[in-house]
DNA sequence: TAGATTGTTAATCGATTAACAATC
DNA sequence: TAGATTGTTAATCGATTAACAATC
């Protein structure tokens, strides 16, 4: 009975939105990453191509057990995470695949578009610039910068590499919120400083070193060698 | 006094090694990653070039507070992690920089050499193959495979791209323990299966999808878009 | 010595897992 | 109905933080 009341509340649009806002505000990195993994799995393995826009009948379902097994997490964890973002399942049936996808997309704001610049036109910078998959999550790379004369003017991921000298004015003029740093360790901090000074709100750092930014700027390190160290250590035991 | 005894024990080679083994066996992913970050920071910011082989006088020191501040962790955490791997500091002085580096290198077996193949000669595969930084941690990429005729025969990171058809025999003949997968999502599982069948002990997966492997095989996903989702979500609040 | 730093215990916090009634 | 699955509470576990004596 209490449960039934709750579902009624949750299907009422404005209150449900408020619920989502609260949940979003509270989401820590770990739960966020789990939601992301649920989304990847469910959208790839279970969802019909365009189910997010045109829900099908009969509805497809996925159980917490399926997700848990595929992603090597606890089924209870999945149900808890889903409950926390307002997803309600059906006993003996599971969760509506399209609703799962839609809810996570909305919560994580995949449909908000953000533009980014890549700083460093090396192999990794090129890989990121050329990778189309980020668009799914709302990120579009719009420019690539480098300070190597041999790279400036070359085409990377369909974009002409610009000199670092133009970085600040480009970010300012186009109000770019994200800078992706793929420069070598020795230059990462200096380049991050320039991007921050020009006004970015977030730094996504792929250089193999730590960079420091003011508290107002979001920072995420993508420590690739760190993953390697973990793998190597386990391999060597 | 108790402390003094402990230090004497720890400097006795065989017992110290046993201590390390125990510590290593217990290390979970999180602590391992922290140790790795400590190493990166201390070796980059504090260590003289070759201090691991030829310790300098006067000895350089680093405090848990310095490390904590730079890496945004708790100083107590640093001291605990260091204590757990047998590092002993000096009151009011800190930890011997070279000893920190040497101990972590030994514990994480950076000097053990492991060979790896890259499967997928796209931008990301090329970036990994060309990146020299992995050598620091013991990984050497020795071959790159692809099934695209336009890529086979091309040179990536100094290596000639081989056809996927040769993957199994190459891994078997050279006893390659690690396969790095940078193929598109749709092919990742099939390629992982082939690498596993050929005998690799570990899969380092950069494809934007989950792959499944038998329990005997180590698996590490490097979920790059996952980092993006976290960043984007925080940016959008 | 005085004061900064370590090493360690205890307290807190949060995340994970177990258990099970409610549900379809 | 019977049985699989959800939703939720309680218990466990581990990680983080606080506190402080010992140390240099």
- Please write the tens of the pLDDT for every residue from A31-44: 888 999 999 999 98
Write down the pTM of the prediction.
0.85
pLDDT of residue B14: 28
Q: Is the confidence at residue B108, as pLDDT, over 80?
A: yes
Taking the alpha carbons at both ends of chain B, their separation in whole angstroms is 54
Q: Are B97 and B61 in contact (CB under 8 A)?
A: yes
pLDDT digits (tens, 9 = 90+) for A73-84: 999 999 999 999
Of B70, B109, B204, the CB nearest to A233: B109
Q: Is the peptide bond before A161 cis (omega within 30 degrees of 0)?
A: no
Q: Is the confidence at residue A164, as pLDDT, over 60?
A: yes
Query: Residues of A from 32 to 71 whose C-beta is within 7 A of strand D: which are they?
Result: 63-65
Alpha helix segments (H runs only) across A2-74: 2-11, 13-26, 29-45, 64-71
List protein-proximal bases of chain C (any atom < 7 A from a CB): 3-9, 14-19, 22-24
Q: Is the confidence at residue A15, as pLDDT, over 50?
A: no
List the single range of A150-154, B62-66, B222-226 with lowest mean pLDDT. B222-226
What is the rounded distance in angstroms from the CA atom of residue A95 to the CA atom of residue A89?
4
Q: Are B213 and B196 in contact (CB under 8 A)?
A: yes
What is the rounded distance in angstroms from the CA atom of residue B119 to the CA atom of residue B130?
14
Alpha helix segments (H runs only) across B72-122: 75-84, 97-107
Residues 103-162, chain B: which have Cβ within 8 Å of A? 107-110, 112, 114, 122-124, 126-128, 130-131, 133-134, 136-139
pLDDT digits (tens, 9 = 90+) for A102-150: 999 988 888 899 999 999 999 999 999 999 889 988 899 999 999 999 9
Query: Taking residues B128-151, what's their average pLDDT?
Result: 93
Among candidate residues B106, B5, B119, B99, the one with its CA nearest the CA of residue B52: B99
| More confidently predicted of A191 and B59 | A191
Q: Is the confidence at residue B21, as pLDDT, over 50?
A: no
Among candidate residues B156, B157, B177, B153, the one with its CA nearest the CA of residue B166: B153
Per-residue pLDDT band at B12 (split at 50, 70, 90)? very low
Distances (CA, A) of B227 to A206, A215, B233, B234: 11, 19, 10, 11
Q: Is the peptide bond before B217 cis (omega within 30 degrees of 0)?
A: no
Per-residue pLDDT band at A229 (split at 50, 70, 90)? confident
Query: Taking residues B50-75, what's their average pLDDT?
Result: 84
Which 8-state DSSP code applies to residue B215?
A: T
Look up residue A158 and give its two tokens.
């369909």
Residue of B nearest to A24 (CA): B237
Round the average pLDDT of chain B to a whole number and report it. Answer: 84
pLDDT of residue B151: 96
């Amino acid at each position: 009975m209490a449960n039934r009341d709750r579902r009624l509340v949750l299907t009422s649009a404005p209150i449900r939105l408020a619920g989502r806002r609260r949940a979003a505000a509270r989401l820590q990195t770990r739960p966020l990453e789990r939601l992301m993994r649920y989304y990847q799995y469910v959208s790839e393995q279970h969802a019909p191509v365009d189910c997010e826009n045109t829900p099908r009948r009969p509805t497809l379902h996925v159980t917490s057990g399926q997700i848990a097994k595929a992603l090597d997490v606890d089924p209870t964890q999945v149900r808890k995470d889903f409950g926390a973002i307002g997803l309600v399942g059906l006993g003996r049936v599971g969760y509506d695949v399209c609703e799962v996808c839609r809810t996570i997309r909305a919560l994580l704001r995949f449909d908000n578009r953000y533009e980014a610049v890549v700083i460093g036109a090396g192999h990794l910078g090129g890989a990121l610039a050329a990778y189309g998959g980020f668009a799914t999550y709302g990120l579009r790379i719009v420019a690539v910068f480098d300070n190597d004369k041999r790279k400036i003017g070359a085409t990377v991921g369909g974009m002409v590499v610009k000199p670092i000298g133009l970085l600040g004015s480009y970010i300012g003029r186009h109000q770019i919120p994200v800078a992706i740093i793929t420069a070598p360790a020795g230059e990462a901090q200096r380049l991050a400083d320039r991007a921050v000074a020009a006004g970015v709100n977030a730094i996504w750092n792929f250089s193999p070193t730590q960079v420091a930014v003011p508290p107002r700027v979001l920072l995420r390190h993508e420590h690739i060698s760190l993953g390697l160290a973990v793998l190597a250590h386990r391999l060597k035991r």
